[in-house]
Chains A and B, each alone.
Chain A
Amino acid sequence: DAMVIQNPRYQVTQFGKPVTLSCSQTLNHNVMYWYQQKSSQAPKLLFHYYDKDFNNEADTPDNFQSRRPNTSFCFLDIRSPGLGDAAMYLCATSPDRAPYYEQYFGPGTRLTVT
């Protein structure tokens, strides 16, 4: 089945130690998104890629970076995780053609910072 895959599902890192979360998709969608979600709140968009074009949200901290080496893969890098970065990180994809406006989400990576 076509899907969005996130690895790992659970990640523990130490305060200040860089961590990378990965997302892959078999849907061949040209848009990929990274969200941060804390304790059952609404997901907060960090950034998205439209093809290879990177689009950062204005309030996304510099500590968060992303890479998209090809259509299928996207990575979220947290350069120096703080305790406040502990959250669920969600990857999503969407095509950019009508009427397929919905986003398809991966299962998420739960990040713990110790």
Chain B
Amino acid sequence: AQSVAQPEDQVNVAEGNPLTVKCTYSVSGNPYLFWYVQYPNRGLQFLLKYITGDNLVKGSYGFEAEFNKSQTSFHLKKPSALVSDSALYFCAVRDMGRRGNAGNMLTFGGGTRLMVKP
């Protein structure tokens, strides 16, 4: 069975400093990986995805993520954090094990709360 782990419940960073939110995965075959952000009382917003190609993926709001196959990781990064980046971040992997009309099922990590302080 596939799984996604976000080892940190919370990440604290000062505004202007680089940030990293960690994600590791376990799947059989090639993974399709995603990052979502959730602001308070809102739905999840898609940030970026890795399907194939360049290991460094650029997404919305200046975020990027690096796919590392040997370490089975897909860490989210941003060179300079903003207070407005404070939110809940979810890593997800597409479910490759379903049959039939399975759509695009996702397995989510447990989430990491990012706190950016002025």
Interface residues of A (CB under 8 A from B): 4, 6, 31, 33, 40-43, 45, 48, 50-51, 53, 55, 88, 90, 92, 94, 96, 98-99, 101-108, 110
Q: Smallest distance from the beta carbon of A15 to chain B beta carbons, Å? A: 23
In the complex the two chains form, is B51's CB within 8 Å of A99's CB? yes
In the bound complex, CA of A38 to CA of B47 (Å): 22
Please pick, from A31, A40, A53, A106, the residue contacting B113 in the complex, using a CB distance under 8 A. Answer: A40
In the bound complex, CA of A96 to CA of B105 (Å): 11
> Closest residue to A55 on the B side, CB-wise?
B101
A-B Cβ contacts below 8 A, count: 70
> Closest residue to A102 on the B side, CB-wise?
B46
In the complex the two chains form, is B103's CB within 8 Å of A50's CB? yes
Question: Which residues on the B side are within 8 Å of A107 (C-beta)?
Answer: 42-43
In the complex the two chains form, is A43's CB within 8 Å of B103's CB? no
In the complex the two chains form, is B51's CB within 8 Å of A53's CB? no
Please pick, from A42, A90, A101, the residue contacting B32 in the complex, using a CB distance under 8 A. Answer: A101
Q: Smallest distance from the beta carbon of A49 to chain B beta carbons, Å? A: 8
Please pick, from A43, A90, A102, A110, the residue contacting B104 in the complex, using a CB distance under 8 A. Answer: A102
Kindly list 15 other residue pairs between chains A and B, CB separation below 8 angstroms, not including A41-B110, A98-B51, A103-B46: A40-B88, A40-B113, A41-B111, A42-B108, A42-B111, A43-B44, A55-B101, A55-B102, A55-B103, A92-B43, A94-B104, A96-B103, A101-B51, A102-B46, A103-B44
